[in-house]
Amino acid sequence: MNDAEWMPIGLALGGGTARGAAHVGMLKGFERVGVSVEAYAGTSFGAIIAAMAALGAPPLEIERVVRRQNVMELWAQSVDFGLHRAALIHGERFARWLDRTVFYGARIEEAETPLAIATTELHSGTLRVLREGSVAEAVRASCALPGIFGTVPIEGEHLVDGGFVEPVPFSTLAALPASRMIGVHTGLEMAGSTALERLRAIDRSRPARTLHREAERLRGRNPWSRLAKGMSLSLRSYRHDARVPDGAELIVTAPPIAWWDFHRSPEAIAAGERAFDRWWDGRRAKQTKEEAWVAQGGGA
């Protein structure tokens, strides 16, 4: 395949927590075949990987950072319990840890490659795209899963996990200069997923309907009401599969690990590399068939 045909591209990296380490394998694949990236968008764990790449870290360096993380050390150094804020973890120490050990005080607007971080505005449930400000604070907001992390106040709004609007942040990427958009999905399998069907069944249940009604009524003035609104948002987010805009492509990879298996990041990275190879080989095969068809006079 002519690599120039694929230059430049924009990458939209979805969430998936520990499974999101597969994004590193994808980045390694694009680098290996010589395809450059002109814009990055990320949500949740994908925001962490997108930010590192946009700030100039090569895939092997990102892999080193992901592999070296010790979960117990991470908990010891970055976790601040936030039950008083209706969350297991408040998140401020996590942001400071990211700023100190991963992003080194960088701001979004300083990225070598254009970067956008997807978040969700808690009260409206709509997308908020962060294009400036602290990278660590933006990533903290994009990873803020209600009940686990506290909401993140930015410019008068309470922001939470960007995956609630789009599991793969194509709309966020559309705000950046990208000639061709490619998204990577590493979260719940979208086709035939038993877990996804169970979550959708919960969303249709009577308690969930009650939660949704109460969440609409609440104004979110205190942590517990924000938790209720966040939990409602979380459940409603499973109603829709990843949407792929016209002209864009979606690569799906299913790492054989659970969302909390951060110690198994090498397996997720390898799964990402395999998914890239399957996608790339498929594109090359399609290109070869098209060229053969033209050579035989099919394009006359």
158, 123 contact by CB (below 8 A): yes
44, 134, 237, 265: which is the annotated catalytic residue? Answer: 44
**What is the reported pTM?**
0.87
Q: List pLDDT tens digits, range 140-185.
A: 999 998 888 888 999 989 899 998 899 999 999 999 988 899 999 9
Residue 171 annotated as catalytic? no
Separation between Cα atoms, residue 210 and residue 197, nearest integer Å: 20
Residue 38 pLDDT > 70: yes
Residue 222, pLDDT > 50, answer yes
C-alpha 198/C-alpha 159 separation (Å) is 26
More confident residue, 300 or 108: 108
Which among 226, 249, 237 is positioned nearest to 196, based on CA atoms? Answer: 237
**DSSP single-letter state for residue 129:** E
What pLDDT, in 10s, does the model give residues 99-142?
998 999 999 999 999 999 999 998 888 999 999 999 999 999 99
> 44 catalytic, yes or no?
yes
pLDDT digits (tens, 9 = 90+) for 226-261: 888 778 777 777 777 778 899 999 999 989 888 888
> Of the listed 99, 134, 142, 161, which one is catalytic?
161
CB 251 within 8 A of CB 283: no
CA distance 164 to 144: 11
pLDDT of residue 205: 84
CA distances from 29 to 81, 95, 210, 291 (A): 38, 29, 46, 24
The answer, yes or no, to whether the previous bond of 58 is cis (omega within 30 of 0) is no
